[in-house]
Amino acid sequence: MRKWKNIFVMCAVAAIPATVGRAALVDFETAGDLTNNFRQSTGDANVAQTADAAGNDYVTVNNQQTANAGKSFLYDTTPADATSGTASTFSSTNPITVSYAFQAGTTGTSTNSFGVYIIDPTNETTNSLLALLNVDASATNERIRFFKDGNWSTSSAGTQVGSNNDSSSSIVAVGDPFKTLTLTYSVSGTTPTLTLAVGSFSATSAFSAGDAITNPEFALRIYDAQTSDGSSITQHTTTANFDNFQVVPEPASLGMLGAGLGLALMRRRRA
């Protein structure tokens, strides 16, 4: 009898998708990581996953028009599936951490921004929260802002909640190596709290009761500023880059499977 119980546990573990073995992690080192794991918003920016032979691959966002420099990427492991949120929702019972590496260009002057949407999978286009980092927003200093009711599919930020949060010194500089942006999302009752951090610079915004999004989806918002001469023809001379997208904890869809595994292991110990 013990043999069959062991086989059951092994089969259950094998059933967990590899892409969520460590919550959700996309490092863009494999061809197709971008197109196989994200739905993209509309926008004028060119997007590409690099193919560096040295194995240091990432995604570049390069604005070519002045109309809309924003581009957003919603995490969805079945991006071709017409049903939204079926493979990319995360349990909001405990705090969730979302992080990715970013680079604010390599040359010239950059006023890029980098953010994370928290999205209602049942109402993706009008019910969301957004934490946003503006690079060089105040002289050479950075700025963190929070928004609600934006539309990830058009990279619309929505309505700002609270005031600007400016750093006391420069945190991000053009040409810097990749830095890590980290968002923590937690819910108390129906009130969400967002904390965005880059290095030693962080800011927290408590939204209103009723603003919480249960079992949300997440999207990256990348804004590559227009060309310095405002031309709609000249390609921007630098890019906004991102890498190593990660979400913790595990997707909500694994909750029942996890409970089943726990029960199976308990039975194994008692046998």
Q: Which long-range contacts (CB under 8 A, 24 or more apart) does 264-270 make?
A: 264/5, 264/8, 264/9, 264/12, 265/9, 267/5, 268/2, 268/5, 268/6, 268/9
Q: Is 176 helix (H, G, I), strand (E, B) or coil?
A: coil
* 83 and 16 both lie in a single domain: no
- Comparing CA positions, the residue from 173, 82, 84, 194 lying closest to residue 129 is 194
CA distance 54 to 217: 32
* 195 and 154 both lie in a single domain: yes
Residue 266 is classified by DSSP as: H
Provide the pairing of β-strand 201-206 with 191-198.
antiparallel
Q: What is the mean pLDDT of residues 36-56?
A: 83
pLDDT tens, residue by residue, 105-122: 755 555 788 999 999 999
* 179 and 213 both lie in a single domain: yes
249 or 264: whose pLDDT is higher?
249
* 132 and 227 both lie in a single domain: yes
Structural domain of 5: 1-21+253-271
270 or 207: whose pLDDT is higher?
207
Q: What is the mean pLDDT of residues 57-82?
A: 80
CA distance 35 to 28: 10
* 149 and 271 both lie in a single domain: no
For residue 248, the model assigns a pLDDT of: 93
Q: Where are the beta strands (DSSP E) in 30-158?
A: 38-40, 46-49, 59-62, 70-75, 96-104, 113-119, 128-138, 141-148
- As for how many domains the chain has, the answer is 2
pLDDT tens, residue by residue, 94-153: 999 999 999 987 555 557 889 999 999 999 999 999 999 998 766 578 999 999 999 999
* 33 and 143 both lie in a single domain: yes
* 74 and 118 both lie in a single domain: yes
pLDDT tens, residue by residue, 8-45: 333 333 333 333 334 789 999 999 999 999 999 987 78
Q: Are 45 and 60 in contact (CB under 8 A)?
A: no
The whole-model pTM stands at: 0.80
* 165 and 270 both lie in a single domain: no
* 179 and 258 both lie in a single domain: no
pLDDT tens, residue by residue, 187-236: 999 999 999 999 999 999 989 999 999 999 999 999 876 554 544 444 45
**74: its two tokens:** 């919603």
* Helix residue spans in the chain (DSSP H): 2-14, 33-37, 255-270
* 200 and 71 both lie in a single domain: yes
Residue 177: give its domain's CATH number. 2.60.120.200
* 8 and 101 both lie in a single domain: no
- Comparing CA positions, the residue from 187, 240, 219 lying closest to residue 64 is 240
Q: How confident is the model at residue 90 (pLDDT cuts 50, 70, 90)?
A: very high
* 67 and 2 both lie in a single domain: no
**237: its two tokens:** 């001379």
**Which positions ≥6 away from 211 have C-beta within 8 Å?**
129, 148, 190, 191, 192
